[in-house]
Amino acid sequence: MTLKEIAMFLGGSESRPLPETAPSGEALAFSLDSRAITPGAVFVCAKGEHSDGHDFALEAVKKGAAAIIAERDPFAGTSVDAVPVPVFMVRNSRAAITGLAAQQRERAGRRGVKVVGITGTAGKTTLKEVLATVLSRHACTAKNFMNMNNQWGLPLSILNASEDAAFWVLEAGISEARDMDELAGLLRPDLALILNVGSGHLSGLGDKGVSYYKARMLAYLPPRGLALINADYPELVRASAAYPVKRKFFSAANTDADFFAAYRGPASPASGNYMVQLVNHEASPENAERVQLVDHEAPPENAERVQTFEVKAPFRGAFGSENVAAIVGAAALLGLERKEIAEGLAEAVLPRQRFNCQIFGRTVLIDDSYNSNPLSAARMLESAMETASENRLPLFLVMGEMFELGEASAAGHLELGKNMAASKARAVVWKGGHEQEIRQGLAQGGFQGEFQTARSRQEFKLAMRELFKKNGSGGVVLFKASRGNRLEEFVELFQKEFCPNKPE
């Protein structure tokens, strides 16, 4: 998108006209963060809770910003010559970039880009990252940067996505009842993938249930679009049936699903082996009605209806089966062959703070500290327990409060305590609220280990030093909590104090 096109879309609302000496070519990127500005980027001024982007516009220009989008002139009183970039004045910066993103999405559709929209309660970002890696084996693929998946992040992700890509893999994260309609209305995915549903963001989603709001993405599929749904969640299956769209199903439990995956055991502390089964609709009698998102050659006449093969993926346990089935399903529907899928899964690496596994001698650090809810916490506990058992190491849990559960918060933390006890952890270090429910759950689950709290870095350091002294150096240490706990600070401290060597 060129600066002139931006000016035309925004209605010629420049407060400072484009100088003839200024670049008039493409906007090379869009950013809210002046620290991340690179030459040729557009800096979008947004007023946040703790800072105002308008105050950093000059810094962005000094770093090479090609234009500014702002709700007020951030250079009032400064001559045009002193700020040789256009400033596009808008009433609302978020509405402005959302409108620009809608234009970009429409252009991408005309160019044949296939958009994959991902939503779910747990693991959206991880799934998006790995699926993008797999698809990139086949063709150029764009994606959200990390978890930029809300009303600010998704438009910016679309504006920063290459129009030359064959695939856009974009996630939508919701916390309020209106969110999916706003995000999916912009996304308009060709393939809508709903990974799972569970207790998450309950405080903002009202009484219709998580499945209802996740399934709202299907209302925005184009006529030839396709939904890929997790068959293991009956409420989600029922909610998705309310929309007149073509559905395919993946599963970690039902071998009759279109795409199925089963865990076959560990490949390494950070990866697992999986058996994959997919129904080859090209070889079925219903081939004439087969839904196809991309064009490719017809299969040989003797193609098997059911294909089974093994893959290695950067997951462990049951939650990994769910992810692998979803990724294989999406990739197959987009035209990838088995070899491409297997190679992509084998080379994929999980992002930081999401089941990021590092080995320091006899210490295995599992960093899943970015966020937490009952579903994701239960799965990480299962994987950590398996890793500890496999390596014959004690398990230590550094965990914290799960936010945004609304009225389900007390019950959710009680159940978490029971799951923590079932992991047979040697010790638990807890940060944040709901300590009483965690203690109750641990007691009801028959927990035999130690329980400590840590409100600060110093308290955490002392707690871990005491635990390692009692139990011998080394062990599997899982870090898991909602974002507001800032548990990444404990991860950094632990690496510095207890993992002096580089990871293996």
The domains found in the chain, sorted by start residue, are: 3-91 (3.40.1390.10), 101-347 (3.40.1190.10), 356-498 (3.90.190.20)
* Cα(430)–Cα(452) distance, integer angstroms: 6
Average pLDDT over residues 434-452: 96
Average pLDDT over residues 331-342: 96
Angle between helices 488-498 and 457-471 (to 10 degrees): 50
Nearest to 193 by CA among 256, 258, 254: 258
The predicted structure's pLDDT at residue 446: 96
| CA-only gyration radius of the chain, Å | 24
Q: 259-268 and 271-279: which strand pairing?
A: antiparallel
Hunting for tokens 């703790």 — which residue is that?
50
* Cα(365)–Cα(4) distance, integer angstroms: 50
The predicted structure's pLDDT at residue 16: 52
- Given pLDDT bands bounded at 50, 70 and 90, which one contains residue 302? very low
Average pLDDT over residues 438-464: 95
- Given pLDDT bands bounded at 50, 70 and 90, which one contains residue 81? low
Mean model confidence pLDDT for the chain: 88
Q: What is the dihedral of CA 347, 348, 351, 354, to 10 degrees?
A: -110
Identify which has the larger pLDDT, 269 or 98: 98
* Cα(18)–Cα(80) distance, integer angstroms: 9
The predicted structure's pLDDT at residue 204: 55
The predicted structure's pLDDT at residue 293: 58
Identify which has the larger pLDDT, 145 or 347: 347
Angle between helices 179-187 and 153-160 (to 10 degrees): 10
The predicted structure's pLDDT at residue 491: 93
pLDDT tens-digit series, residues 452-501: 999 999 999 999 999 988 887 789 999 999 888 999 999 999 999 888 67
Per-residue pLDDT for 15 more than 70? no
The predicted structure's pLDDT at residue 193: 98
Average pLDDT over residues 369-388: 88
Give the list of residues 6+ apart from residue 485 with CB closer than 8 angstroms, or none: 400, 401, 431, 432
Q: Tell me if residue 357 falls in helix, strand or coil.
A: strand
Which region among 103-107, 276-280, 321-325 has the lowest average model confidence (pLDDT)?
Answer: 276-280
The predicted structure's pLDDT at residue 85: 86
Give the list of residues 6+ apart from residue 76 with CB closer than 8 angstroms, or none: none
Most confident region among 26-35, 122-131, 188-197 by mean pLDDT: 188-197
Verdict on whether the full-model pTM lies above 0.85 = no
pLDDT tens-digit series, residues 207-261: 788 899 999 999 999 999 999 999 999 999 999 999 999 999 999 999 999 999 9
The predicted structure's pLDDT at residue 285: 40
Per-residue pLDDT for 62 more than 50? yes
